[in-house]
């Protein structure tokens, strides 16, 4: 018996790579809602994802509603993923590269600029082992392009996207107008749904089996990896980046369960500068569970999301917006939510 000598090319060890999908979109656009649907669709196809969530306090609240459907849900502690949080994100992605789960999903916070991340993914491609890399921009069809103060930031989040997803889907005529508006900002982005994305990711997982990193463009039907450096100069990047820094966050820990009838009036009373609010609340009437209440702009969804998982995340409120006044928020919370309790300082 003799052993065959294989040509060199067949001796190269194969590097497992996995798809990565990054969700962007303005505050409250519907990123976590899409992520939740996508995780469900992926579960149905037999796939488990590792998930990284940006923005510590926000991520801790969202994690409570996602952990059942993901292999792991890791919150980033840095407040801004496009600058001081970038090193931490890179470390987490490197760790995630060792994971045996089939894909990586990243949700950026609603004020992040995705361009520095796209650049980093491109530069560190051989270490991150992520292919293909897609970015889905979630667009709230009700408000997109109409929030004059935040319009530039919304545009930045769409400019680098490979796909876009419309939440709060409008009537057919308005859909056509939305599509035109999106095309004028990013003609390359295609509209998608949770089910389309799950199907495309599932296909990518299958195609990736046996794929050698560095040969993406040789593979039949491979999606070319997006290289944002081609589209944007450094000067453009610096001049655009300040938009991501007009926002501050404020977190208030609740000292005790809340009387349910107090919650809606409290949410309604929050000042206009609060562009986004989330509150993980234990109600006095239901000591066995907690609820995630929200406000997007001045809209308050009628029913909160029940959170049944037990964790150490404290009941708390998170507020995001420009020019937030923590004392004002603490005062309102004390007065409307916890009038009788001794309230800790923020
Ligand atoms: N009617 C309707 N409600 C939606 C849709 N998408 C999201 N929502 C609701 O809008 C609110 C905000 O959605 P999220 O998915 O938390 O938004 P987000 O972009 O993750 O928010 P941040 O992480 O705070 O930026 C939630 O109450 C959702 O239930 C949609 O397509 N239709």
SS3 per-residue string spanning 30-48: CHHHHHHHHHHHHHHCCCC
For residue 102, the CA-to-ligand 1 centroid distance in Å is 26
For residue 33, the CA-to-ligand 1 centroid distance in Å is 5
The pLDDT of 180-208, averaged and rounded, is 91
For residue 305, the CA-to-ligand 1 centroid distance in Å is 11
For residue 92, the CA-to-ligand 1 centroid distance in Å is 26
158 within 8 A of 144, measured Cβ to Cβ: no
Q: If you search the block for the tokens 């789960």, which residue do you land on?
A: 101
Instruction: Count the helix, strand and coil residues of the chain and give each as a percent rounded to the nearest 5.
Output: 40, 20, 40
Q: What is the signed CA dihedral for 215, 217, 219, 224, rounded to 10 degrees?
A: 120
175 within 8 A of 193, measured Cβ to Cβ: no
pLDDT in tens, 254-311: 888 999 999 999 999 999 888 888 899 999 998 888 999 999 888 898 899 988 766 6
- Can you tell me which atom of ligand 1 is nearest the CA of 33? 15
pTM: 0.73
Mode of pairing for the β-strands spanning 276-281 and 290-296? antiparallel
How large is the angle between the packed helices 194-208 and 31-44, nearest 10 degrees?
Answer: 50
Choose one of 24, 30, 81, 111 to mutate for the ligand 1 pocket test, by most ligand atoms within 8 angstroms of C-beta.
30
- Residue 124 pLDDT exceeds 60: yes
Residue with the larger pLDDT of the pair 222 and 176: 176
For residue 45, the CA-to-ligand 1 centroid distance in Å is 24
Residue of 187, 177, 185, 116 whose CA lies nearest to 151: 185
Q: Which domains does the chain have, with CATH numbers?
A: 18-213+227-243 (3.40.50.300), 247-336 (3.30.1220.10)
State the ipTM, two decimals: 0.98
- Can you tell me which atom of ligand 1 is nearest the CA of 26? 25
Atom 27 (ligand 1) nearest CA: 301
């Amino acid at each position: 018996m003799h052993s065959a000598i294989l040509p060199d090319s067949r001796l190269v060890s194969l590097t497992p790579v996995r798809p990565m999908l990054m969700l962007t979109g303005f505050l409250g656009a519907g990123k976590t809602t899409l992520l939740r649907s996508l995780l469900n669709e992926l579960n149905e196809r037999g796939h488990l994802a590792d998930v990284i969530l940006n923005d510590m306090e926000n991520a801790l609240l969202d994690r409570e509603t996602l952990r059942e459907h993901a292999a792991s849900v890791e919150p980033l502690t840095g407040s801004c993923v496009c600058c001081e949080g970038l090193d931490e994100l890179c470390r987490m992605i490197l760790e995630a590269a060792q994971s045996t789960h089939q894909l990586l999903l990243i949700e950026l916070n609603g004020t992040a600029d995705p361009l520095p991340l796209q650049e980093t993914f491109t530069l560190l491609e051989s270490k991150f082992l992520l292919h293909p890399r897609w970015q889905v921009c979630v667009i709230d069809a009700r408000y997109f392009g109409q929030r004059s103060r935040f319009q530039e930031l919304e545009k930045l989040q769409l400019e680098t996207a490979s796909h876009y997803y419309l939440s709060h889907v409008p009537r057919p005529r308005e859909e056509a107008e939305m599509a035109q508006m999106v095309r004028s900002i990013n003609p390359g982005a295609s509209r998608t749904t949770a089910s389309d994305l799950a199907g495309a990711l599932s296909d990518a997982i299958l195609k990736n089996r046996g794929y050698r990193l560095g040969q993406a463009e040789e593979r039949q039907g491979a999606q070319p990896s997006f290289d944002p450096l081609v589209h944007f100069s450094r000067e453009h990047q610096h001049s655009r980046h300040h938009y991501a820094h007009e926002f501050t966050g404020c977190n208030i820990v609740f000292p005790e369960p809340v009387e349910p009838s107090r919650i809606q009036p409290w949410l309604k009373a929050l000042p206009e500068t609060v562009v986004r609010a989330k509150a993980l609340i234990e109600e006095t009437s239901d000591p066995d569970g907690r609820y995630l209440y929200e406000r997007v702009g001045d809209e308050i969804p009628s029913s909160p999301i029940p959170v049944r998982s037990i964790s150490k995340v404290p009941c708390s409120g998170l507020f995001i917006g420009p020019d937030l006044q923590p004392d004002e928020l603490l005062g309102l919370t004390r007065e409307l939510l916890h009038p009788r309790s001794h309230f800790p300082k923020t």
